[in-house]
Structure 1
Amino acid sequence: MQRGLILLFATVMVFVAMGVQGTSKRDNTKVSITRDYCGATKVCVETPDNCDPANTTCLFTSIHASDPKNSSTDLFIELSGSSQGYIAMGLTENATEGTTLLYVCARNTSNGGNNKFFFRTMERNNMNNSLSEAERSVTEIRGTVDESFIECMFNVSSVNATSIRNFTVLLGWGTVDGDGIKSFNVSRTEGPLSFDVLTGTTAAPTTTTTESRASYALQSHAVLLLLSVLTLTVLKTD
């Protein structure tokens, strides 16, 4: 009995580490995004202006910086809107040159996966709008999909505050081929913006911890090591 319980625990740990980056609304998970604290403790960008993110016609993002006046800060980001493929927000210093780091919240359009959420980070060439995969450390990813309505929250840790002192936000959408991200269509460009306008603090969004692809490999190796240790323990106790 003891051996069976230990092996079951190890198997569950492996599936947690390999798990998907989000859930659908068919599960008992809810992401609730509102305009609360916009302009007070978080920077908000939306289209149309002043729209309610609970409305599916609203494309909305908010960014809360844990300590914008420090040399390094954590960003807590919310994103919601409607798309048959994906919605995305991007941060850049200049929307017409250089690159934009895009945070993509999407629905899986492969066979049988239409209402499954997944997350990607992409780099956009601001000169020609081409996209390439970009591995970035993103944590606390949480997302839901209800038909074409997508909501997500995620954290970006240890961002250089100087680089985002004056930044531009891009909001947009695009199509998905299976789990491949296609061209980004810009719906709103807002900036330069600054976190210096914010006067208060608020708790970071409460989220369910999942890791971006950049962190999965480390997690998997750690869990496989744990599995090996547990298996040896079982063999020794037989």
Structure 2
Amino acid sequence: MENETVEPTETRTTTVAPTITDSETVAPTPAVVATTADTRITAGPLTESIDRDGCSVTRLCAAEPSTCDPSTSSSCFFYSAKQKTGGEFAFELSGQSTGYIGLTLSTDDTLGGNDITYICAADGSTVVLITATLNNGVLKETQSGMSDGKGRIDGDTIQCSFCATLEQQSSRRKRRSTSGYNYSTGFQTGTYDTSSGELGTPTTKIKTNIVDLSNSNSIITSTTVAPTTMFTTEATTIADNVTVAPTVAGNVTVAATTPAVVAATALTSVTAAPLTVGDGK
């Protein structure tokens, strides 16, 4: 057998240079911050006046005076609520104010415990829709909860319509619990600064008991908050240095430096007691 010589195999090592990948720093995306623009919506035009059609039939209504018609009366505070689908409701508001009108919804009998308030404010010839919370007499704007807003201004009358979504609330009736859209309501008016956007302290024109807004036949017990009348007559100096001082509750206090007959300043407002006519017995 012949011997065979095998040539050694040459192994070559190839060194591969590492690939350098350029690092790219990606800037974080800034968070979207809600601004005041998200709390206000300019309403579209409301072409027809709000009226009482469908009250107690297809929608729940409350008014002061109780039977006033906002389409014909120049002194009428009115709102209506109509359930559309689920928790979505259509609201209509009408009232006299040079600032704003609004509707506060509370889950209890007391208004002002961080309660949602839907506001229609007069800004020139347009209506601005504002969502706020009412807490201890102070309105604080929040993320808008109003949609499909329309509005109109006629003199000092503001009218608006909009949609809002409500949550169901539980209530106890005759020893059983029921669920519904149960809220006490308050119709509000107040001042509105178009330059700063500041909402003035609300004045309640209508206050109702807790009612189911989805039931057009809900029994409403309305309490009207009467405005407080204050006499603000400035001090008046008459002859002989006799000064008639203004009073807080309407009574005239006279502080005289010399004896004299004093002509008291006439009161600007006097409330007369009702005159009861008997049968002569």
The equivalent of 1:162 in structure 2 is: 169
Q: 1:155 to 1:39 in 2, by over 3 A?
A: same
The alpha-carbon deviation at position 161 of structure 1 amounts to 2.7
Q: Which has the higher contact order (CA 8 A, sep 6+)?
A: 1
What secondary structure does 1:182 align onto? Answer: coil
The alpha-carbon deviation at position 82 of structure 1 amounts to 1.0
- In the alignment, the residues of structure 2 paired with residue 20 and residue 171 of structure 1 have an alpha-carbon distance, to the nearest angstrom, of 20
The alpha-carbon deviation at position 166 of structure 1 amounts to 2.1
- In the alignment, the residues of structure 1 paired with residue 164 and residue 67 of structure 2 have an alpha-carbon distance, to the nearest angstrom, of 25
- In the alignment, the residues of structure 1 paired with residue 213 and residue 43 of structure 2 have an alpha-carbon distance, to the nearest angstrom, of 28
The equivalent of 1:138 in structure 2 is: 146
The AA in structure 1 aligned to 2:113 is G
* TM-score normalised according to structure 1 size: 0.63
The equivalent of 1:101 in structure 2 is: 116
- 1:185-224 equivalence runs, <5 A: 185-195=203-213, 197-198=215-216
The equivalent of 2:190 in structure 1 is: 174
- 1:55-134 equivalence runs, <5 A: 55-67=73-85, 72-96=86-110, 98-108=113-123, 114-125=124-135, 128-134=136-142
Gaps of 5+ in 2: 1-39, 171-179, 218-281
- In the alignment, the residues of structure 2 paired with residue 20 and residue 197 of structure 1 have an alpha-carbon distance, to the nearest angstrom, of 29
- In the alignment, the residues of structure 1 paired with residue 160 and residue 44 of structure 2 have an alpha-carbon distance, to the nearest angstrom, of 10
Q: Percent identity?
A: 26
The AA in structure 2 aligned to 1:176 is Y
- In the alignment, the residues of structure 2 paired with residue 168 and residue 63 of structure 1 have an alpha-carbon distance, to the nearest angstrom, of 13
Deviation string, structure 1 residues 110-167 (Cα, Å, up to 9, x no partner)? xxxx322211011001xx211111213321000011221111000113x223365321
Aligned residue-pair number: 165
Q: Contact 1:31–1:151 (CA<8 Å) still a contact in 2?
A: no
The equivalent of 1:49 in structure 2 is: 66
Q: Contact 1:145–1:151 (CA<8 Å) still a contact in 2?
A: yes
Q: Contact 2:96–2:156 (CA<8 Å) still a contact in 1?
A: yes
- In the alignment, the residues of structure 1 paired with residue 148 and residue 214 of structure 2 have an alpha-carbon distance, to the nearest angstrom, of 25
- In the alignment, the residues of structure 2 paired with residue 195 and residue 59 of structure 1 have an alpha-carbon distance, to the nearest angstrom, of 18
| Aligned-CA RMSD value | 2.2
Q: Which has more helix, going by share of residues?
A: 1
* TM-score normalised according to structure 2 size: 0.54
- In the alignment, the residues of structure 2 paired with residue 192 and residue 129 of structure 1 have an alpha-carbon distance, to the nearest angstrom, of 20
The equivalent of 1:22 in structure 2 is: 43
